[in-house]
Amino acid sequence: MNRAAIVAPVRTPGGFAGGGLSAMTAQRLAATAIAAAVERSGLDGARVDDVVLAGAVTGDPRLARLAARAAGLAGVTPGFDLERRCGSGLYALITAAMMVRTGAAEVVVAAAVDRGSAAEDAAIPPDLADVEQLARRYGITRAEADEFALRSHRKAARAWRQGTFASEIAPVKVIGATRSEWDCATPRLVEHDETVREDMTTRGLTELSPLWPDGVLTPGALGVHGAGAAACLVVSEDRLSDLGLEPLAYLTDWAASSCATPERTPTAAAAVSKLLSRNGFHPSDMDLMEIDEKTAVDVLALLRHLDHPVDNVNVNGGSIALGDPIAATGLRITTTLLHELFRRAATHGLAVTPLSPDTALAALFESAHSDPTTTTPRGARFHTSRTRRLGRHRA
C-alpha cells in the first residue's frame, strides 16, 4: 500500500476575535490556504483529484467546493466537507491519506478552517471541573500552569523573530476588518499571528483571577479561540516522481481513543499509547511533539503521565500563543510540526489533539528522508505487538 506523502503544508496566521481576520468569510480564508499549498507545491491545480475541507458548521454544505473554486482549482474538482469537532483538521488529513493509500485518488488537498468566536477570545472549558481535578491528580500548580503559558508565548515570539514561521505562513489579504485600525477600504496583509504576546510576563499572569475558586487555570493558560486555516497536498507516494513533488513527511499511522475518567487520566493518554505501541515506539523515540494546548493543565498532565520532558514539545509555541482555530487546529499543529521536523533533519513527530472532553486523536509522522517504518498489521492488538525497527529503542 502506498504511503501518504504530505506536500507543501501551509497555514494562515492565527487571528483573535475582532482582529484582522474577522472580516474574512470561511470560504475566502480556506481558499487562501488551499491556493498557497497548491502554488508552493508547483503542481498544476488541474491534477488535484479532490478537496477534503474540515471546518466549523457554516450552514453551507458546498463550502469545500466553493473554496476549491475560489482557490483557482479546476471547476470539475468536487470537494466535500468534514466536521469532527476539535479533531476536524487532523481528520481531514487522515481522510485524504486513506484516499491516496487505497488508490481512490492520487492527489488530494486536505484543508481546515475556522472563523473563530465573535463573543470572546478564550472560551472557558466545559470540563473545567475535570481539568482542575486532573491538576490535583498530577500535582500541577497554578505557578506551573502560568509558567507553561508564558513559555508558549516566549517560544512563539522567538520563532517569529528568528523567521522560523516564514516557510509555513500563507499571508491573508483582508479589507475592512472590524478593529478600528483596520476600518478602511485599503487591502492589507495579515502576515503575523495576532495572538502572540511578546509582552507577556509572569506578573501579568499572576494578576489574573482563576476560573475556578482557588483553582489552577486562568484565562492566560487557555488556548485562544480564534480564526485560521491550514492546507496541504496529500499525494500517493508512487506518483511523487511523475508529478515532480518533494514531500516534507509521510503520515505513518493514527489512533483515536476515549478516556473513561478524564478527571483522573489525561484525555489523550490512551490514544498516544495505542498509536506508539502499535508502531513499536516509546514517547522518547519522538524527535518532536505538537500537542494542542486547550489548557496548560492538559499538556502538563499528559507529559507527566507519559514521563516525558517538555523540551521537544511545542517548541515554537502552541495554541495558548498561536491561537486555537478549533476546527483547523489539528492541521495547524501538523503544519508547524512537519516544518520543524524538516528544519531539524529529524525523523519522527507526533501530533495530538482532543476530539471532545473525553476523546483524543494522535497521528504519527516520519520524515521524507527516513527509512519507512514497518507497522504492525491493522488487526493486531496494540498492547501485545511491537515491531522492531532501526533507530533508537527503549531497552
pLDDT, tens digit (0-9, with 9 covering 90-100), for 185-227? 567 889 999 999 988 899 999 999 999 888 999 999 999 888 9
What are 51's three cell numbers? 478537496
CB atoms within 10 A of CB 383: 10
And the C-alpha cell for 220? Answer: 492566560
Does residue 177 fall inside a structural domain? yes
User: Does 377 fall in a domain?
Assistant: no
pTM score, whole prediction = 0.89
Question: For residue 281, which of 306, 262, 302 has the smallest C-alpha distance?
Answer: 306
> Does residue 383 form part of some domain?
no
- Tell me, yes or no, whether 288 lies in a domain: yes
Q: Which is higher by pLDDT, 291 or 181?
A: 291
CB atoms within 10 A of CB 169: 20
Show the domain range for 73: 4-118+126-367
Residues sharing a CB contact under 8 Å with residue 259, sequence separation 6 or more, in sequence order: 265, 266, 267, 269, 270, 358, 359, 360
The CATH number that applies at residue 281 is 3.40.47.10
Q: How many domains does the chain have?
A: 1
Q: Over the stretch 342-384, which tens digit does the pLDDT of each residue have?
A: 999 999 999 999 888 889 999 999 999 876 655 544 444 333 3
Our measurement of the distance from residue 292's CA atom to the centroid of its chain's CA atoms, rounded to an integer in Å, reads 7
In a domain, 241, yes or no: yes
How would residue 161 be classed by pLDDT, with cut points 50, 70 and 90?
A: very high
Nearest 10 degrees: Cα torsion 123, 125, 129, 133:
-120
Q: Which of 124-128, 177-181, 228-232, 266-270 has the highest average model confidence (pLDDT)?
A: 228-232
Q: Residue 387: inside a domain, yes or no?
A: no
Average pLDDT, the chain: 87
For residue 375, being part of any structural domain is answered with no
Q: Is 392 inside any structural domain? A: no
- Asked if pLDDT for residue 177 goes beyond 80, the answer is no
